[in-house]
Copies of this chain bind each other. A is one copy, B any other.
Amino acid sequence: MIRCIKCEQVHAITKSGVVHGRQRYYCKDCRIYFSLPESDPSPSPSHTGPHHSATILDIARALNISKSTVSRALQGHKDIKEETRAAVLEMASRLDYQPNLLAKSLVRSKTFTIGIIVPEFMNYFFPTVIIGAQEIASAAGYTVMICQSQESVATEIANTRALLASRVDGVLISMTRETEDFDHFRVFGRHGIPVVFFNRVCETIESSRVYVNDYEGAFSAVEHLIEKGYRRIAHLGGPPNLQLSQNRLNGYSDALKRHGLPLQPELIVRYDLQPENARLCAARLLDLPQRPDAIFCLNDPAAIQALLLAKERGINVPGDLGLVGFSDDPISSIIDPHLTTVRQPVGDMGKIAMQILLEQVEKGIGNYVPEHKTLPTHLVVRESSSGPTGHPR
């Protein structure tokens, strides 16, 4: 006892397969498909109706023209009379037509979406990058698809597959803290999809990269501590497989060398980017028989953990312990004492990375050379490093 949703007739209805749990029907008179929930024999009026969204074919039939014409009218092709176009547009909005990107992308083999893989977005850094990137992308008519690997290679691999399956036109990647094998990234190259790495870059893959000058940032931070009178400066570093922790470590040690200070291995600890472990590592440093009088931390979250721990233990910052972080997290200017840090242009990093990526997407793979962009850093001096007590400068 199925009636057509349009002509309300019963006789011209035939079944037309089941799609995902609901019976589809076809009315021969109206030449229209529709479906009704089959578990509910008498659906409430508010939920009845054509769940089958309108297509260009529906518009075409309603106007007695061909779907080619509708398609062309919709995309502003010049071959279409102004009159017809107006009619199409009018009917499109009447039928609540929404173009099906899946179909469009399928035939044009271009999706106008960019994939982004980040390890997390709990902290300040990655959301800010993403916002910058998204701004550029949507200005260029692209949408983004954000994946978070949650610092796990397994889900990172899953993410690459998902993006590949969705046929994104390009991807932006900042890898996991534990990524050591990069094979899963190569698949993009094999499929002609440009990628650009940012922040946590991959050096063994031929691709564009954008990052800040970690070495210089670290160098200036440590030099600043030295100038303020700190002498036993420790480093709370990051995992060795990340290039940036290596660079910051190098900046640290070179600054020490430059000023004739010894490089003491026990003053260097590395944490795996988990906040809890930053705290643990800071504790290791503070528990040292000969305590450091300053710590240069890999990033602000780590510095904040160190600061909190110091406060708990009654260690005066900056009097007994100088602290400087990296990346200028907003919390750093709120916490007491305010944290000295190395500011990096976070939003710009997203923008620039996306700009480079989109350029390469438009050019097509093989028609561009990978680009390596280094962004400047800038030391922001605040209270946490104003010099040890008894050594005012």
Contacts and interface: CB of A to CB of B under 8 A. Distances in A.
Given A20-B109, A51-B365, A165 B334 contact: no
Interface string A95-125: 0101111110110111100000000011010
- Complex copy number for this chain: 2
B110 A106 contact: no
Contacts of A122: 124, 127-128, 131
Contact of A19 (B49, B108, B127, B158): B108
Contacts of A63: none
Interface in A160-204: 161-162, 164-167, 187, 190-192
Interface string A284-300: 00000000000000000
A134 B106 contact: no
Interface residues on A, range: 35 or more
Contacts of A76: none
Contacts of A110: 20
A37 interface: yes
Contacts of A206: 46
B366 A192 contact: no
A80 B100 CA distance: 33
A144 to B, nearest CB: 8
A90 to B, nearest CB: 17
A64 interface: no
A304 interface: yes
A102 B105 contact: yes
A347 to B, nearest CB: 11
Nearest to A107: B19
Contacts of A167: 100-102
Contact of A98 (B21, B124, B165): B165
A331 to B, nearest CB: 6
Nearest to A101: B165
A308 interface: yes
Contact of A134 (B100, B148, B158): B148
A145 B145 contact: yes
A49 B143 CA distance: 28
A100 B165 contact: yes
A106 B108 contact: no
Interface in A31-61: 37, 39-40, 43-44, 46-49, 51, 53
Contacts of A37: 364-367
26 contacts: A22-B364, A40-B366, A40-B367, A44-B366, A46-B206, A51-B365, A53-B192, A98-B161, A98-B164, A98-B165, A99-B165, A101-B167, A102-B105, A102-B166, A121-B127, A121-B130, A122-B131, A143-B166, A145-B145, A146-B146, A331-B331, A331-B334, A334-B334, A334-B335, A335-B336, A336-B336
Interface of A: 19-22, 37, 39-40, 43-44, 46-49, 51, 53, 96, 98-103, 105-106, 108-111, 121-122, 124, 127-128, 130-131, 134, 138, 143, 145-148, 155, 158, 161-162, 164-167, 187, 190-192, 206, 304, 308, 331, 334-336, 364-367
Given A20-B109, A102-B167, A335-B335, 15 more contacts: A37-B364, A39-B367, A40-B366, A43-B366, A53-B191, A96-B191, A98-B164, A98-B187, A99-B165, A121-B121, A121-B130, A122-B131, A138-B158, A143-B162, A331-B331
